[in-house]
Amino acid sequence: TKYKFMKIGIVCYPTYGGSGVVATELGKALAQEGHKVHFITYSQPTRLDFFNENLFYHEVDIKPYPLFQYPPYEIALASKMVDVAKHEKLDLFHVHYAVPHASAAFMAREILKTEGYDIPFITTLHGTDITIVGKDASLAPVVTFSINQSNGITSVSDDLRRDTLEHFNIQKDIKVIPNFIDLKRFKKQKKDHFKKAICQNDEKLIVHTSNFRKVKRVEDVIKVFCKIREKIPAKLLLVGDGPERTHIEALARDTVCQGDDVRFLGKLEAVEEVLSVSDLFLMTSEKESFGLAALEAMACEVPLVSTDAGGLPELNKDGDSGYICKVGDVDAMAEAALKILDDANLPGFKQRALARAKVFDLKNILPMYEEFYIQTVKDY
């Protein structure tokens, strides 16, 4: 009972990225369970959009100073963490994305120790913090050290766990706790008017959502779509924004799929509405530790053609919830897509995509975090 309701400090990126979404949704769910959850970050997390008496938000601020070519965010964050832990009597920190949150947490924990406050921290590895950013020699020593210093480590897939152990000298266990989905929010909604507006002739609707970074290989989405479009009437919706978007827009304009076959919707809050009318999700990433965007789609009964990158085979079951193809193999992806979109197969794929998503239901995953918190606090 001592651990029934905990006071948890969550540190994350407050932006649209998957790690911030997981951290925020986790914090909201913990607050609803009765835990007190304190978000510590540089701006209001995008999905922290409702009031709950157990949710608190502490903004990290850095005063500008002419000398600072690089404002010392990590120091400001660690200072804020110390302050919140002391005054709110936190039981533990849970930091999402190792860089630079794990090293800030280490600093905060050590400072707190000198003041008589002993609290542990858990680091959750989300993907690019390991696969791209962390491995870089310019950061690796600090990343390795602060992961090892974590009192608990979780990763969002088995593949990311393996990758971390292979590339860093980690002396601790890494517990795999996958991404989760709130099936009450992400479910197929009746949006027939929306479908009609986009697919006037009942074309098949294909969707991709991402932050348009290079690792997502959005150009493959366009290439696969064009191959599908050569065979059947179809439309493509692209949701999200990011550095590659301009280039992808140009590619879409220059290829066979012109006119309004391809639409860029930009960033969208209610992505579940678009997913509700979609027939297929394309995830073409060359790296993807879990693939939260694909799970959101599956929860809305959208089957998946994905690559075999990272943890995607742990989410997508080949021939069941969709198909898995080699990274960059656009021919295979188009062929797989056409199989799924075949009217004889589509209803079955949709049902099985939903069934697969249910494995990652919030109510199955939340207790894993709660148990890990208790274990970590007890062991500290």
Q: Could you tell me the smallest distance in angstroms from the CB atom of residue 129 to ligand GMT? A: 7
Q: Could you tell me the smallest distance in angstroms from the CB atom of residue 369 to ligand GMT? A: 13
Name the residues that contact ligand GMT, by CB under 6 A: 17-20, 22, 97, 126-128, 156, 179, 211, 213, 215, 287-292, 310
> Which amino acid is located at 298 in the chain?
M
Q: CB-wise, 276 or 285, nearer to ligand GMT?
A: 285
Q: CB-wise, 126 or 195, nearer to ligand GMT?
A: 126
CB-based contacts of 76: which residues, under 8 Å, 6+ apart? 60, 61, 62
Q: Could you tell me the smallest distance in angstroms from the CB atom of residue 318 to ligand GMT? A: 18
Q: Could you tell me the smallest distance in angstroms from the CB atom of residue 301 to ligand GMT? A: 20
Q: CB-wise, 90 or 353, nearer to ligand GMT?
A: 353
Q: Could you tell me the smallest distance in angstroms from the CB atom of residue 116 to ligand GMT? A: 35
Q: Could you tell me the smallest distance in angstroms from the CB atom of residue 315 to ligand GMT? A: 9
Q: Could you tell me the smallest distance in angstroms from the CB atom of residue 157 to ligand GMT? A: 8
CA distance 380 to 370: 16
Q: Could you tell me the smallest distance in angstroms from the CB atom of residue 57 to ligand GMT? A: 19
Q: CB-wise, 56 or 360, nearer to ligand GMT?
A: 360
Decide if 97 contacts 12 (C-beta within 8 A).
yes
Q: CB-wise, 177 or 228, nearer to ligand GMT?
A: 177
Q: CB-wise, 144 or 154, nearer to ligand GMT?
A: 154
Closest chain position to ligand GMT (CB): 127
